[in-house]
Structure 1
Amino acid sequence: MSDKPMVDLPPECWELIFNLVGHHRHFEPLSVVCRQFLAISNRLRVSLTVSDQTVLFLPRLFQRFQHLRKIDLSEFHGDLEGPLSQIAKSGLDLEAINLSNQRNLPLDGLRKLGSNMKNLRSLTCSKSGSLLDFHLFVIATSFPSLEELDISYPEHEHCYSLSGLADSGRFPAVTDSGVYALSMKLKNLIKINLSGNSFIHDKSLMVLSSNCASLREIAVQDCAFITQSALAFVISCARELRSISASEIWLPFKDVGFEQSFVYAKALCDINLSTSFVADELLYSIVEACLPLNKLTLAHCDGFTFAGISLLLAKYQCLSFLNLEGVSFLTDQNIVELSKFFSMLTSINLSLCSKLTNSTFFTILKRCHFLNEVKMERTNVGEEDFAADIVVNHRVKSLNLARNCKLGDGSVKKFAAVCPNLQQLNLSSCSKVTGESVVEIFKRCREIRRLEINQCSGIKGLVIDFELSKLEEISAKGSGINNEALAVIGKRSCRLLHLDLAGCLNVTAKGVKEVVQSCRLLREINLKCCDNVNAGIVAWMVFSRPSLRKIIPPCGFASAESQINLFLRHGCLVCEGQHFKGHGKPPLI
């Protein structure tokens, strides 16, 4: 490694250049060029994911990356007290920490963290075991500057009696008392997610909206005791409220209090009422309120009709996000009529609308000029009725067509032709799709970065004679993909980073070697349940491909702790039995 780069520029200029590269996972090749590039990449690294193995190296990592702002401990499964103590003593100025998926949140660790991280703005404790009121008391006292708090879906192991109390006699859940403590201490709170906390009542929402004047986002999905009365109070009183998310709310006919509350919601732009009973009268009240609405979710809702949703969409033609998943009455003709109001949509979800066919897909592509994302999972897409006036939409980047049993090669080819700038495509569990479709997708959509073909047994071999210069991730769990296809992927995909082959029975060590040898940037590979891949290939992969950062080995892999640590010192985490994270996760070190 040299002391200086070949082109001598001020460090500020190099930082600007590095930032153009994008995600910090791309910094690693640059960091080995020279010491100055190493220092710059270290300085620009702002987030770190900690696992069971990497926790041993925390002091060294904190010393190397001194500008970290976010730490994610959701993949760590040991005693959290030690890591929290090290983070507290690190001297870092953190803005966000993720403590999700923990069996327990140590109170002393939280206190130490709070005493040293005065500027912490975001705390995530989703899916934490044994989350109780006294955890909220400590959080409220220790982190007075919090702006975002997620305590959603706690995982309690206690057994409840019919009265809602644990058999042990104590109340093993978050209650209104804990939320009240948060509301009294966290005066800067902007966003809170209470979803899945089954024992909070209307009182919790009322004290939050009364005491937290800056509150903008509230989520109470799957909170059984929250009623429309509390939602009406929040919408009326929280004048800064931008987003409200609730589910399983009974919003009956002639609920005057709830309907009138929208008149006061001058800032409300995002409404999510999933799996609720929503009468047309409520939709009419939203129309009359003249909100700055740009996001609407009515997924799996009952009670409203086509007339109700039509009137609402006619009023709010500036919607950018619309989720009508599971609205079963929708037909292709309904979408033709509604699409007149879709001119500003960037994302639409019509999954589980079983009456919708190819006609709907081509209609929204034609009418939605700003569309970026389309979800039509488990619909009736696949019917070969192609419209005569099909238009090409260059803006669509993400398309989810998973679990469409009628979807075959003919439709997929046509979809690829009209969405040439696709970057993400999901065809999982489409049994009629073959390798012919995949080749056509790669040929037509040269911007494709992520392809999901999980459980596609019809996809086996691939014949590709051109470069896949943008492809970064393939998820092919349980597919029919074989060694020959892997060899082609390896040869043509120079930027492949993530490869998920879990349960691919047509793959052997030969195919894995082909792709690992060819893909010089490969960072993660999942071989879980690949019964025909010899477990002995793991060591070969670690030492043959220095870019690898995570391997989930095939069945039969057994290794001593010393060998696992040796792999880790080479920069690769070999993690048996763990889930493959893949897309969107930062590298481990």
Structure 2
Amino acid sequence: MRGADLINLALPDELLDDVLRRVGAGGACKRDLDACALVCRRWRRLERASRRSAKLAASGERADEVLRLVAERFRALVDVSVDERLTVGSGGAGAGTSASASRSRRPVHSTCPSRRRRRMPLVANFTVQISPFPLDQPVGDDGTERSCLTDVGLTHLARGCKGLEKLSLIWCSAISSTGLVRIAENCKNLTSLDLQACYIGDPGLIAIGEGCKLLSNLNLRFVEGTTDDGLIGLVKNCGQSLVSLAVATCVWMTDASLHAVGSHCPNLEILSLESDRIQNEGVISIAKGCRQLKNLKLQCIGAGDEALDAIGLFCSLLESLSLNNFERFTDRSLSSIAKGCKNLTDLVLNDCQLLTDRSLEFIARSCKKLARLKINGCQNMETAALEHIGRWCPGLLELSLIYCPRIQNSAFLEIGRGCSLLRSLYLVDCSRISDDAMCHIAQGCKNLKELSIRRGYEIGDKALISVAENCKLLRELTLQFCERVSDVGLTAVGESCSLQKLNLCGCQLITDSGLTAIARGCPDLVFLDISVLRIIGDMALAEIGEGCPKLKEIALSHCPEVTDVGLGHLIKGCLQLESCQMVYCSQITSAGVATVISSCSKMKKLLVEEWKVSQRTRRRAGPVLSFLCTGL
């Protein structure tokens, strides 16, 4: 009945609270929760009590005050992320992560006759905008120092949200040990703490260890101001609960810290370690003490084969291993890993110069569960390395080869024969790989969903035709600077594969005809990069506008034949467009830019030359605009 409040009269607080929790469950749109909060005072009170997460800016004139208001109004928060790279301003936060409404929104009023129409108090909505300021010294537009979140704001959060379980402080340069001590004193349920690029001292870390006995995840990447004593003090008190630890480029860290981690963290499963000061002894301590390790990422120039020998000997549960920039590791290291880590599924080798084909032979023969393999810049690996993978790893799902100049086509014959489940293939700067290699892959790996080739100068239409004929599930295709690819191959793909993402940057033989085939055959396309295609014109954009209504991102920089007319046809059909890059398009004018801004209501980022933006357009959509830095 009109004018009657059937919901509020019938539902007790417990049931209405359950409804609101279900509205916010599963990453639902934040707008739904905001709308609920604006119905009436009761709904606002219950919605605030049910809000569990918030993503906030750490920069602004009232950063501490904002956090105080959040802590007072949303006392049930368990997950808070504060990021100094964000500023209070325009732009959207992720769905379900920020707490709620802008000033322009009119409140929804209850139809309950006992309540008069009134203006609802604002629920704090922290929409965010990427900050252009240097992160090590925040400054304002006028060159003066810009205020940021301090220990005062963190103290408000600690005292207001004592049930906090996850706290992320990214680049919060004004936070010190004092703020962390307040968190440790009040938030006893804290399980996850991210201090990336914060400047804190030993007392803060020690206090966290003493007060937060449930801490399981800790990120200390780029953390300055502390010493070994801080980490040692932390793990001595809460090391038993620690499951994940990340430390990167912290000049203070030595083997003493790792010895403490190995001694006090028996349940550690995930470790990311990047340090120039770590030697074999530190990694060996980790291997002996942390035998539950499943995910290990190492970048320790001072360590050698002895370190990985210990990992292979003691860490039999290891599933993911990433080795980066090692100058002292040899085939002996991977031999040890292969012998001891039979459950290995993910292997990343970046710039490990001394590794040869023998390394992958050891892995392939022993680690039959290998599913993802990435080799980057290991120049001593040749064709035989991949042949071993093809013969012994039938469960391979992803293969990435970056700057592997010695690997030839025959390697892919074995991959095609033996790895029929392959779903993703990435090839960058592999100069000896040609159409024959792609034909082997296409004929044997019919489940391929993602193919990315960059600077594949020997790959052309023959490869694309084979992919189109055999890989009907292909959804993402990247062909950056594959200069032999033409409309013939692209047309075959458009007729056979329903792509969602396509990158043709630098494929200069592509014309309007090839893009027309894509537009007519791929209606689900959401991403398109046609930058540096110098002979495409307005016809291609008109076809894309008509055939790809779901398109969200497009890059068409360095396209001299595209004009405002083609741009108009594009945006007429692509109403979902959120991102557009169009620098160095000589025939696109300020009128075209204004048309894009006025027609694309969902636009979040437009990259264009600054001189093409009129003052009216700038006033209308300033936060959306990004300009090319031509003064560098």
1:100, CA displacement in angstroms? 6.3
**8 Å CA contact 2:334, 2:359 repeated in 1:** no
CA distance in 1, matches of 2:78, 2:598: 30
CA distance in 2, matches of 1:184, 1:561: 57
**8 Å CA contact 2:491, 2:518 repeated in 1:** no
Deviates more, 1:100-109 or 1:335-344: 100-109
**8 Å CA contact 1:145, 1:186 repeated in 2:** yes
| Aligned amino acid, residue 349 of structure 1 | K
Show the counterpart of 1:464: 492
Secondary structure of the equivalent of 1:440?
A: helix
1:321 aligns with 2:346: yes
Q: Which has the higher contact order (CA 8 A, sep 6+)?
A: 1
Deviates more, 1:439-448 or 1:551-560: 551-560
The counterpart of 2:366, out of the listed 332, 338, 341, is 341
After superposition, the Cα gap between the structure-2 partners of 1:529 and 1:145, relative to the gap in structure 1 and judged at 3 Å, is: farther
1:46 aligns with 2:71: no
**8 Å CA contact 2:512, 2:540 repeated in 1:** yes
| Aligned amino acid, residue 324 of structure 1 | L
1:489, CA displacement in angstroms? 1.4
CA distance in 2, matches of 1:80, 1:515: 45
The counterpart of 1:188, out of the listed 210, 214, 224, is 214
After superposition, the Cα gap between the structure-2 partners of 1:503 and 1:48, relative to the gap in structure 1 and judged at 3 Å, is: farther
Show the counterpart of 2:100: none
| Aligned amino acid, residue 280 of structure 1 | D
The counterpart of 2:295, out of the listed 270, 279, 287, is 270
Mapping 1:319-468, distance limit 5 Å: 319-380=344-405, 383-385=408-410, 391-461=417-487, 462-464=490-492, 467-468=495-496
Runs of at least 5 residues in structure 1 that lack an aligned partner in the other structure? 1-38, 155-172, 579-587
1:279 aligns with 2:299: no
Show the counterpart of 1:516: 545
1:565, CA displacement in angstroms? 7.4
Show the counterpart of 2:272: 245
Runs of at least 5 residues in structure 2 that lack an aligned partner in the other structure? 1-19, 87-134, 139-147, 610-623, 625-632
After superposition, the Cα gap between the structure-2 partners of 1:303 and 1:493, relative to the gap in structure 1 and judged at 3 Å, is: same
CA distance in 2, matches of 1:525, 1:200: 45
1:571, CA displacement in angstroms? 3.0
Show the counterpart of 2:191: 147
Q: Could you give the per-residue CA deviations for residues 259-309 of structure 1, whole angstroms, max 9, x where no partner exists?
A: 355333232222222243323322333344354222222222232332332
**8 Å CA contact 1:359, 1:387 repeated in 2:** no
- Larger of the two Rg values belongs to structure: 2
The counterpart of 2:519, out of the listed 456, 466, 490, is 490
1:573 aligns with 2:616: no
After superposition, the Cα gap between the structure-2 partners of 1:72 and 1:560, relative to the gap in structure 1 and judged at 3 Å, is: farther
1:340, CA displacement in angstroms? 0.8
1:235 aligns with 2:257: no
1:541, CA displacement in angstroms? 4.0
Identity among equivalent pairs (%): 19
1:216, CA displacement in angstroms? 0.9
| Aligned amino acid, residue 83 of structure 2 | L
**RMSD value, Cα:** 4.2
| Aligned amino acid, residue 534 of structure 1 | T
CA distance in 2, matches of 1:526, 1:58: 34
Q: Could you give the per-residue CA deviations for residues 6-58 of structure 1, whole angstroms, max 9, x where no partner exists?
A: xxxxxxxxxxxxxxxxxxxxxxxxxxxxxxxxx99976661669xxxx9xx99
| Aligned amino acid, residue 508 of structure 1 | G
Q: Could you give the per-residue CA deviations for residues 68-96 of structure 1, whole angstroms, max 9, x where no partner exists?
A: 8666679x997784986886657985645
1:508, CA displacement in angstroms? 3.1
CA distance in 2, matches of 1:92, 1:507: 55
Secondary structure of the equivalent of 1:362?
A: helix
1:378, CA displacement in angstroms? 0.9
Q: How many matched pairs? A: 513
After superposition, the Cα gap between the structure-2 partners of 1:312 and 1:433, relative to the gap in structure 1 and judged at 3 Å, is: same
Show the counterpart of 1:101: 85
Deviates more, 1:541-550 or 1:345-354: 541-550
1:400, CA displacement in angstroms? 1.7
**8 Å CA contact 1:345, 1:371 repeated in 2:** yes
CA distance in 1, matches of 2:392, 2:257: 38
1:564, CA displacement in angstroms? 8.0
TM-score norm. by structure 2 comes to 0.69
Mapping 1:20-35, distance limit 5 Å: none
1:230, CA displacement in angstroms? 0.8
After superposition, the Cα gap between the structure-2 partners of 1:535 and 1:201, relative to the gap in structure 1 and judged at 3 Å, is: farther
After superposition, the Cα gap between the structure-2 partners of 1:534 and 1:111, relative to the gap in structure 1 and judged at 3 Å, is: farther
Show the counterpart of 1:22: none
